[in-house]
Amino acid sequence: MTQLTPSVSEQDFSLGQQNAAVTLVEYGDYDCSHCRGAYQIVEALRLELGETLRFVYRPFPRSTRHSPGLRAAEAALAAGVQGRFWEMHGLLFAPNASLIEADLLNMPVIYRQTLGLDEDQYVRDLTNGVHTARLQEHLQSGIASGVQSTPTFFINGKRHEDYWDIDTLRSAIEVAH
């Protein structure tokens, strides 16, 4: 079983108690239909398991330079430095989300009241590739952890090698608890 490298740290965006019994980490791509499905499953598990589950998302977009998933990951990180990672994460996985670059750049205008972003900083960060190095760290950690496709899950630091449907993932989390 492959170990998560590096372990979850304060630099990761997480939901749930830091001392939760189980930490679920997902490496995902915003431009991946399977990750879109996994988003719904993780949200249902988070609601169901409450305080016993901590969730961490690490962007792992396809490596093509101009892929929509890459730009979406940068958008999530740009929102994250303003304390809005999870709100952007949800918007990027919304059923009608557009990952076209022009839409990503205009997103704070469209969702100004929802996200409350400093629009100038957000656009500047995306335009100047401010979060490229952090995204590369996520990619390198995924590679070091043996991630080859998305979504890939880790439960308490160990790669989940089974299916990730809700029942299988729930069972694996319960065993880890």
Q: What is the CATH number of the domain that holds 38?
A: 3.40.30.10
Helices 85-92 and 68-80 cross at an angle (nearest 10°) of: 150
> Which structural domain range is residue 56 located in?
14-176
- What pLDDT is recorded for position 163? 92
Is 65 domain-assigned?
A: yes
3-state SS, residue 22: strand
Distance from C-alpha of 103 to C-alpha of 11, rounded to nearest angstrom: 27
- What pLDDT is recorded for position 116? 86
Tens digit of pLDDT per residue, the chain (177 long)?
Answer: 589 999 999 999 999 999 999 999 999 999 888 999 999 999 999 999 999 999 999 999 976 666 788 888 998 999 999 999 999 999 889 877 766 666 666 666 666 667 888 888 888 898 898 899 999 999 999 999 999 999 999 999 999 999 999 999 999 999 998
The 10 Å CB-count burial string (b at 16+, else e) for 10-27 is eebbbbbeeebebbbbbb
* Reported pTM: 0.90
Cα separation values, 54 from 6, 16, 35, 42, 163, Å: 17, 4, 18, 11, 20
Is 115 domain-assigned?
A: yes
Is 97 domain-assigned?
A: yes
Count of structural domains within the chain? 1
Is 91 domain-assigned?
A: yes
Is 4 domain-assigned?
A: no
- What pLDDT is recorded for position 96? 74
